[in-house]
Amino acid sequence: MSLTRRIVIAVFPDVDLLDVTGPAEVFALANRETGGAAGYRVQLAGPVAGPVTTSAGVRLVTDLAFAEVDGAVDTLIVPGAVDPHPDGPVARIDQDVVTWVKAAAPLARRVASVCVGAHLLAAAGLLDGRTATTHWSTAAQLAADHPSVRVDPDPIFVRSGNVWTGAGISACMDLALALVTEDLGEEVALAVARQLVVYLKRQGGQSQFSVPLSRPPSARRDIDELRMFIADHLDDDLSSAALAARMCLSERHFARVFRRETGTTPAAYVEAARVEAARRLLESTDEPLDRIAAACGLGSVETLHRALRKQIGTTPAAYRRRFRTTA
């Protein structure tokens, strides 16, 4: 007799469409991959039962009104919505959702937010004293509005007890796959990932974006071109002196310009780019550490160890065990 796992996803006007449909598809595929043994049953709940227009203009139809959700809920999923603003998107706080989540969450086995849905969990008091993530563009808003929440804008998702928070948009798939892993194990989750043709599974500790994307474009095209050169030539001589010579600037003036445009020193930027490349190789290959260190311009295994400990607080072997993504 299969176990029924009831998944209730909150839906409200202008909700982000993928935040709702992405996890629902993951759970549906888990049912298919297990011949129905996964037992997932997804329901959409909203302020009222009936059609709801999402941010994409596509309408969803809720199964239940919030007031009609009774009985046991295995997983409560709270997606988000944003309002445009000249300074960037602002997470919308829908009070109907907040009120319902506050009442429904204690009755659920676990609660998860998708993207800016973390703001709704925080408004309901569910993130107080916890570490949480959200879409990088609203992380500062979440931290400012809720000082008791430890906001980490970098990970794809964060688990704190029975509360999960996911990062922006497509990371909803990674979060849902992690929930499937918890329920059914790694093998089923990987089978679902293959059906979705996604990058098997990015784990929660991985970054939302790469080093070149972590800073906005600079005001100088030559600095942006240099950043791309660094990414493509990690095993070259990328000392400040070599980069300054490439820019036809004195080393001191180059260091000032680079820091002004990127917010960091040339040496720190290069090391971060090399560590990111090393992480990708650790995740996706069985290459020995000395070859990875050489390919990424870190030179030696000792330097690779030191750089990973400095950047992400772990060793190459420990990182590879946790984040290995291929058989």
Q: Among all residues, which ones are annotated catalytic?
A: 115
Measured CA to CA, the distance from residue 315 to residue 90 in angstroms comes to: 37
Buried b (16+ CB within 10 A) or exposed e, 279-289: bbbbbeeeeeb
Measured CA to CA, the distance from residue 73 to residue 5 in angstroms comes to: 8
Report the 10 Å Cβ neighbour count for 267: 14
Please state whether beta strands 90-91 and 82-83 pair in parallel, antiparallel, or not at all (unpaired): antiparallel
Measured CA to CA, the distance from residue 6 to residue 43 in angstroms comes to: 8
Per-residue tokens: 12: 């409200």
Nearest one of 230, 193, 265 to 26, comparing CA atoms: 193
Nearest one of 163, 89, 80, 155 to 125, comparing CA atoms: 163
Q: Cα angle vertex 19, ends 121, 24, to 5°?
A: 110
Q: Under a CB-based contact definition with an 8 Å cutoff, are residues 112 and 118 in contact? A: no
Report the 10 Å Cβ neighbour count for 84: 7
Q: Would you give the distance in Å from CA 157 to the centre of its chain?
A: 5
